[in-house]
Amino acid sequence: MIAKELDAGEGASGVFEARSPAPPADGLGRDDGLAFSRCAEAAERAYLGGQIERAASMLEALGAAARSDLERVRAHELRIAILTAQGRLDEALRIGRSALAMLGENLPDDGPARKAAADAELAAARAALGRRRIKDLLDEPETSDDRTRAALRLLMSLFMPAAMVSPPLCAFIAARQVNLALERGHGGASPFGYMAYAWVVARMFRRYEEAYELGALALDLSERSDQRELSCRLRLLLGAHISVFTKHLLSSLDLFTQAHEDGLRTGDLTYLSHTCVHASLVRFGLGDECEAVRDEVDGFLTVVQRARDELAAAALTSVRRALDVLTGASPARRAPGSAASDEAAHEETISGPGYGAVAFIHHALRQQLCFLFEDPEGALRMGSLAEARMQGGAGDHLATEVVFYTCLAQLSPARPRDRQLTSVSLQSYRDRLAEWAEQCPDNYRHKHLLVRAESARAAGEELAAMKLYDQAIEAARVNGFVRDEALASELCAKFHLASGRERIAHVYMSDAYDGYLRWGATAKLRQLSRRYPHLVAQAALAGHSSRPPSVFPASVPPPASVPPPATMASPATIAPPATIAPPATIAPPATVAPPATVAPPATIAPPATIAPPATVASPALAYPATVALPVHVAPPAHVAPPAHVAPPASVAPPPASMEELSQAPREPRPEPTATLLPIPGRILVLPLAGEMTPARVARALERIVTGAAARRARVVVIDVSGARRVEAGLAIALTQAAAALRPLGAQVVATGICPEAAQALAELGVDLSVLVTRRTLQSGLACALELARGARRCRRRVAARTQPGALSLRAGMSRHRRAQAPR
C-alpha cells in the first residue's frame, strides 16, 4: 500500500522530500521479484515526493512488465491512490474492478444489481458478526493466503473513491472486507475493513454505539499488529464519521491531531489531506476563533497542495473563502484570485464529475453564511444543493449542520408568511435532530433546543419559546459552541424585539455581539451594528476579542505582521489560495477593565447617524465603507478615575510653584496587567505582579474563571512570586478560584508562596489545603503537567468502564503528547 512507515531519519517533515530511488540498472528483466519491488518502491517514493506524473509513467511500465497477478495488483493499487488524489474517481474504480477480477473478486455493476449485491453482502456481514462478540474478533486467526491479503488491500484502496461516487458500492466494499476477514482470516488490511463497516453501520443504519465499538476494535487490531501505516486513515474515519455522533467534537479533534501526525510520518497522503479538511470543518463548527482557523487552513493548504490532492485543496479553498467572508478580510488577507471570474471557475470545477463531496462542503458552508447574514431563502437554496450531494444520509458533522440550518431557515420570520411552515420535511428534520440530541447531547442538544424554540415562536407560544431559547443558549455555552451560543442569543433577541420587549432584546443582542466577537466574525459584527445599532452600541464600544490556540502545529512560518480586516467580502468574490503562509497568532488582550472603573466619554455619537439598509439579503451584499460605530475598540488597560482627570484648558488654574508641585500628591503608576498564558496540555499560567489591591484581585479572579472556561483548561497555575505582599485577601481569592474552577474540571496550582507567608496566612486562619502549592514557578509547571496527564488517564479509565474498547482507543490519541512533554 502507499502508506508505510518512513525511515527514522525522515520523520514527519521529510515526507514530501522523499526521493525515489533509482530503478535497478537491469530494468525489469530479472526473473526474481527484487527488481519489481525496487521499481514499485521507486514509483511509490515519487508519489510521496509529489512527482505525480513521473510516478504514473513508472506505474504504466510496471504494470506492463508484471509477471504475476499479485504484481499486477500491486501496480494497480498504486495507480488507484494517484487517481483518487487527482479526482479521477471513476477511472480509479474501473482499474480496481479489473484488478479484483484477477483475484477472483467481483464488484457489482451499476444500477439495481449493485444495490441488491450491497444488501446481500451487508446481510451476510451482519449474520457473521451476530454470532460473535466484538471483543472476541481480536483473537481471530491470521490468513496465510497472499491473494486474500492482496484483495483486502485493494478493497481498502477502493473504499474512498467508492464513498464519493456510489454509497451502495461503498457499502458493498466495506461489508466484503469484513466477510473476507471472517471467512479466510485476518490480513494486513483487516482493521480498515472493520472501520469501514463501522462507518456504514453509523451512516446507513444509525447504530452509532455499535459503530463506535467496531471502530475501537479496528484501532485495537491495528495497534496489536503494529500497523502504523493504517493509523491516519483509521482515526480519520472514526473522528469524522462515527465519534461525532457519540462523543464531543473535541474528541474528534484529538483523533485528527494523531491522524495528522501519523499521516505525515507514514506518507498516507490521501487520508492526511482529508484529515486536514475534516479538522477545519470541525473547528469551524465548534466556533473556534476565525483568524486562528484561517491560519490553520492556510497551513493545511500548503500540505495538500504539496501532496497534489486536488479534491482536498478544493474543499479547503471553500472553507478559506467562508472564513474570509466572516472576517471581512481585506484584499491583502484574502485568498489570491478572489475575482468573480475565479469564483465562477471554482464552482464550475466542483460541479464536475468526482467533485461531489467538495460541492457538498461548498454549498453547506454557503448555506450557513446565507442564514447568518439574514438570507433564509438563499440558505434553503444552498441547503437543497448540499442535500443533493449528501449521498447515503448524514455521514459527518457538516451534514448535521445542513439539517440544522435548513430547519432554522424554514422557520425564519424573514420568510414570507405564506411560505413558512409549509415544508413537509420540517418534521423529519426535527426528528433527526432529536435523535442526534438524544444520542450525543454534547454536540446536538443545543441545536435541537434552538429549533424547538423557533418552532414555538412561529406557533405563537411565547412562554415556551422564552424557556427553550434560554436552555439552548446555556447548553451551547456549557459545551463550548461559541458560534451557536451567539446565534441562539441573536435569534432570542429578535424574538423579544418583535414582541416589543426592547430592554430584554438589548441584553440578548449584546450577548450575541460578544459571542460573535469571540468567534472573530467581524463582518457579522458590522451587520449587527448597522441593523440593530440601538441594541449593540454599548457592546461595540466595550468589545474585545480572544483567540484560542490552534489544535494543530503551524505547517509553515508566519509573517511578522497581520493587516487589519476591512469590509466584508462576498462569497462570490473570493478565490482559492495558492501558497499562503499563515499569519502570526494574535494573543488576546489580557483583560478589559470593568465598566464601573472607566470614565464615560463626554459625548457619544447618537446611533441615529447609522442608516440601516432597508433589507439585508445574502452575504454577497457589499456593505458601505463608512461605519459610525467602531467594532474592535477595546478600552485601555488602565483609566484614571474621574477625580484625577485634568480640567479643560479654558478653566485651568494658574501655574503652581515648584514647591507646590513637589508637595502635591503624585498619581500612582499603573500596575502591570496580568496576562493569561496558555501552554500545551490545556494549562493556563497567570503571573501576578505588583500591588494586589482588592480591585485587582477581583479582576484577576474573574479573568482566571472566564479564561479557564473559554480555553477548557485542565490546570491553572497562579504565580504570586512577583506580588509585593501575599496577604489574606489574595490568599482567599486563590481559594475562591480553586472552588470556582472545580465544577469546570480544572485544578489550581499556586506558586511563589514562601514558607513565611504560608505560616502567617495559617495564623490568620486562611486554609490553603484546597490548593496545590509549590515554591517556584518551575516546580509548579512540572506539577501542572503531571496533573494534566492524570486528568487524561482518569477520563480514559472512566471511558473504559462505560465504553468497551475505549481505553486502548484513547491511549493512542495522546502518545505523542506524552513523548513531547518537558521533564
Query: Which tops the pLDDT comparison, 804 or 528?
Result: 528
Rounded Cα distance between 357 and 311, Å, is 8
Closest CA to 451 of 469, 428, 464: 469
Average pLDDT over residues 323-345: 69
Highest mean pLDDT among 4-18, 537-551, 695-709 belongs to 695-709
Give per-residue pLDDT as tens, 184-208: 999 889 999 999 999 999 999 999 9
Sorted by sequence, the CB contacts under 8 Å of residue 638 that are 6+ apart come out as 593, 670, 671, 673
Would you state the pLDDT for residue 686?
86
What does each C-alpha distance from 285 to 168, 253, 400, 471 come to in angstroms? 28, 12, 10, 20
Closest CA to 69 of 143, 154, 170, 192: 154
Rounded Cα distance between 313 and 298, Å, is 10
Would you state the pLDDT for residue 674?
63
Rounded Cα distance between 235 and 694, Å, is 49
Q: Decide if 86 is inside a domain.
A: no
Would you state the pLDDT for residue 15?
53
pLDDT band for 651, please (50, 70, 90 cuts): very low
- Residue type for position 397: H
Average pLDDT over residues 507-512: 94
Average pLDDT over residues 308-333: 87
Would you state the pLDDT for residue 816?
43
1 with 268: CB under 8 angstroms? no
Average pLDDT of the chain, as a whole number: 77
Query: Which phi and psi (to 5°) does residue 99 adopt?
Result: -70, -40
Query: Which tops the pLDDT comparison, 461 or 741?
Result: 461
Average pLDDT over residues 507-530: 94
Using N-to-C axis directions, what is the helix angle for 376-389 and 397-411, rounded to 10°? 150
Give per-residue pLDDT as tens, 120-154: 999 999 999 987 888 889 888 998 899 999 999 99
- What CATH number does residue 684 fall under? 3.30.750.24
Query: Which tops the pLDDT comparison, 33 or 604?
Result: 33
Q: Does residue 456 have a pLDDT over 50?
A: yes
Rounded Cα distance between 445 and 408, Å, is 15
Give per-residue pLDDT as tens, 230-247: 999 999 999 999 999 999
Percentage, residues of the chain above pLDDT 70: 69
Which residues, listed in sequence order, are joined to residue 552 by a DSSP beta bridge?
A: none
Q: Please count the other Cβ atoms lying within 10 Å of the Cβ belonging to residue 604.
A: 11
Q: Does residue 358 have a pLDDT over 60?
A: yes
Write out the DSSP string of 645-673: PPPPGGGPPPPPPHHHHHHSPPPPPPPPP
Give per-residue pLDDT as tens, 567-593: 333 333 334 444 334 444 334 444 434
Average pLDDT over residues 77-91: 87
Query: Which tops the pLDDT comparison, 33 or 147?
Result: 147
Query: Which tops the pLDDT comparison, 462 or 81?
Result: 462
Would you state the pLDDT for residue 419?
56
Q: Does residue 549 have a pLDDT over 50?
A: no
Q: Which three cell numbers stand for residue 481?
A: 459552541
Q: How many CA atoms lie within 13 A of 227 on its CB side?
A: 22
Give per-residue pLDDT as tens, 593-645: 444 433 444 433 433 433 433 333 343 333 333 333 333 334 344 434 444 43
DSSP state, residue 108: P
Q: Decide if 687 is inside a domain.
A: yes
306: three-class secondary structure by DSSP: helix
Q: Decide if 409 is inside a domain.
A: no
Sorted by sequence, the CB contacts under 8 Å of residue 562 that are 6+ apart come out as 291, 333, 583, 584, 586
Average pLDDT over residues 555-567: 38
Query: Which tops the pLDDT comparison, 776 or 771?
Result: 776
Q: Decide if 723 is inside a domain.
A: yes
Sort strands 677-679 and 683-690 into parallel, antiparallel or unpaired. antiparallel
CA angle 462, 465, 466 (to 5 degrees): 90
- Provide the domain count of the chain: 1
The side-by-side arrangement of strands in the sheet containing 772-774 is 677-679, 683-690, 715-723, 747-751, 772-774
Rounded Cα distance between 67 and 56, Å, is 19
pLDDT band for 523, please (50, 70, 90 cuts): very high
Would you state the pLDDT for residue 731?
73
The H-assigned helical ranges of 520-576 are 522-531, 533-542
Q: Does residue 653 have a pLDDT over 80?
A: no
Query: Which tops the pLDDT comparison, 210 or 709?
Result: 210
Rounded Cα distance between 156 and 178, Å, is 11
Q: Which three cell numbers stand for residue 751?
A: 506558586
Would you state the pLDDT for residue 258?
95
Q: Does residue 39 have a pLDDT over 90?
A: no
Give per-residue pLDDT as tens, 409-440: 999 998 876 555 445 568 889 999 999 999 99
Rounded Cα distance between 216 and 201, Å, is 14
Average pLDDT over residues 678-691: 81
Sort strands 772-774 and 683-690 into parallel, antiparallel or unpaired. unpaired
Closest CA to 355 of 240, 243, 277, 245: 277
Give per-residue pLDDT as tens, 484-498: 999 999 999 999 999
What does each C-alpha distance from 67 to 23, 37, 504 come to in angstroms? 17, 12, 78
Give per-residue pLDDT as tens, 92-115: 999 999 999 999 999 998 888 899
Rounded Cα distance between 560 and 297, Å, is 18
Q: Does residue 761 have a pLDDT over 60?
A: yes
Rounded Cα distance between 642 and 628, Å, is 27
SS3 content of the chain, % helix, strand, coil (to 5): 65, 5, 35
Domain boundaries, position 734: 677-792
Burial class from Cβ neighbours inside 10 Å (0-12, 13-18, 19+) for residue 180 reads: buried
Q: Decide if 480 is inside a domain.
A: no
pLDDT band for 38, please (50, 70, 90 cuts): confident
702 with 710: CB under 8 angstroms? no
Q: Decide if 117 is inside a domain.
A: no
Using N-to-C axis directions, what is the helix angle for 356-372 and 397-411, rounded to 10°? 40
Sign, CA dihedral 759-760-763-765, equals negative
Query: Which tops the pLDDT comparison, 399 or 777?
Result: 399
Would you state the pLDDT for residue 537?
65
Q: Decide if 733 is inside a domain.
A: yes
Closest CA to 199 of 167, 225, 151: 167
Residue burial 103-136, b: 16+ Cβ < 10 Å; e: rest: bebebbeeeeebbebbeebbebbeeebeeeebee
For the ranges 166-180, 328-342, 393-407, 640-654, the lowest mean pLDDT is seen at 640-654
Would you state the pLDDT for residue 796?
54
pLDDT band for 687, please (50, 70, 90 cuts): confident
Average pLDDT over residues 685-708: 78
Note the pTM of the prediction, 2 decimals: 0.65
Query: Which tops the pLDDT comparison, 30 or 727?
Result: 727
For the ranges 241-250, 548-557, 663-672, the lowest mean pLDDT is seen at 548-557
CA 558 to chain centre: 20
3-state secondary structure 129-157: HHCCCHHHHHHCCECCCHHHHHHHHHHHH
164 with 356: CB under 8 angstroms? yes
Q: Decide if 493 is inside a domain.
A: no
- N-terminal to C-terminal alpha carbon distance within the chain: 38
Would you state the pLDDT for residue 197?
97
